[in-house]
Amino acid sequence: MARVKLTEYKSKLLLYADLGLIYDGLSAEITDKKITYSSPLSTFSNKETFVVKVDQGVKGRMKKGLVQLRITNYEIKSIIKKLAAKGYSRFIIEKMSSHSPDEERYLSIERVREGLVCRYSKSGGIDIEKHADTVKEAVMTVQNVNLISEYLGVGSDFLLKLIDFCEKNYVSFLEINPLVVTVKNPVFQILDLAVEVDSTASFFVDGRWRENDIVNDGVESEEEKKVFALNNSSQAALSFTLLNPNGSIWCLLSGGGASITIADEFYNLGYGAELGNYGEYSGNPNNQETFLYTTYVLDAMLNSSAKKLTLLVGGGVANFTDIRTTFTGVVQALDKYVDKLRSRRIQIFVRRGGPHQKEGLKMIESWAKRHNMYGYVAGPELPLHEIVKKVVSR
């Protein structure tokens, strides 16, 4: 199980819906210097002020200057550009609300061997680390739910809905800090929300969260941004995560199950640190989409300082993705970079199956041999883990 972070925006959309509440925040994203909002800024009143935060899973945003308070509607765009200058591309915008510091609570739920463990405190906020001795801990049993809700001043129904949210979304970790509880008129506000989910559960959540909703807790590379934008404009599923900019092994992976198997095998054999990237192209991308996706992977690979570079085009046996079409896009991208690839003495390894696999495999094998980059090419007759062994023994 890999714990990955969802955007705060997506997390709040999901949680508020489960709580029977309406979430009125917006998300913003910058691609190619253009800002795209989830809804027009005109939905916000010009008489209100707002909070603009970087939404890429970064901890301690306030102390790092990645949160801007009391921003007018007219200032939102310039503030986003200011934060983007630090290398960030995803943001969340919410209405500003005031509260007393003594109303701030801390609440987290983590999935461990014993079950869901709740950590909670009446001293929430950005300085929670200084108040670590106030944080209590308890497994979420029915009895403890009542005790915790009473201690924090929220209804037990709220905690039960949090538990249900964690279960159906395969949440590994949830943190609300601060959870603002107004004592005089018992209401609560979820100011900052962090959610981590089991990455392998994307097959079971019925689209409640997707690959696009997962973020890294840092600055995204240009290739990550480009693949994200490409995925948003495609019916296919395209993802790319830069693991090691100077890695020696780079992958064009297809299909979630096969992609995980291949990545795991590299780690099992002790070559995890050599992986430059992880991601996949699946869902029957067309020729142009595969071409663009491959060029982005090659861009990242050719920026690596590793002396020996290897490209693995790996995947399972597709049900409907046309191997001939996707490999046509891959070969076109290889052609575009042929001189640079040849100068780096790159070897290409392939293991893939599916509709028109014979033509597709022959196409890429012929190209690799013609340009003296052939490592190994196979169809589904070769087990997935065996292609990984051939790569690492290159």
Poorest-confidence range of 133-137, 147-151, 320-324, 327-331? 320-324
Helix ranges (DSSP H) in the chain: 8-18, 76-84, 142-152, 156-168, 222-232, 256-268, 287-302, 323-336, 338-343, 357-370, 384-392
What pLDDT is stored for residue 96 in this prediction? 93
Domains in the chain (CATH in brackets) are: 3-95 (3.30.470.110), 101-199 (3.30.470.20), 221-392 (3.40.50.261)
At 329, give phi and psi (nearest 5°): -65, -40
What pLDDT is stored for residue 1 in this prediction? 47
Mean pLDDT on 362-372: 96
Mean pLDDT on 67-79: 95
Please say whether the beta carbons of 46 and 89 come within 8 A: no
What pLDDT is stored for residue 219 in this prediction? 66
Q: For helices 156-168 and 8-18, what crossing angle results, to 10°? A: 120
What pLDDT is stored for residue 33 in this prediction? 79
CA distances from 208 to 25, 159, 169, 236, 260 (A): 18, 20, 7, 17, 21
What pLDDT is stored for residue 266 in this prediction? 93
- pTM for this prediction: 0.63
| Per-chain mean pLDDT for the chain | 91
Rounded Cα distance between 181 and 188, Å, is 4
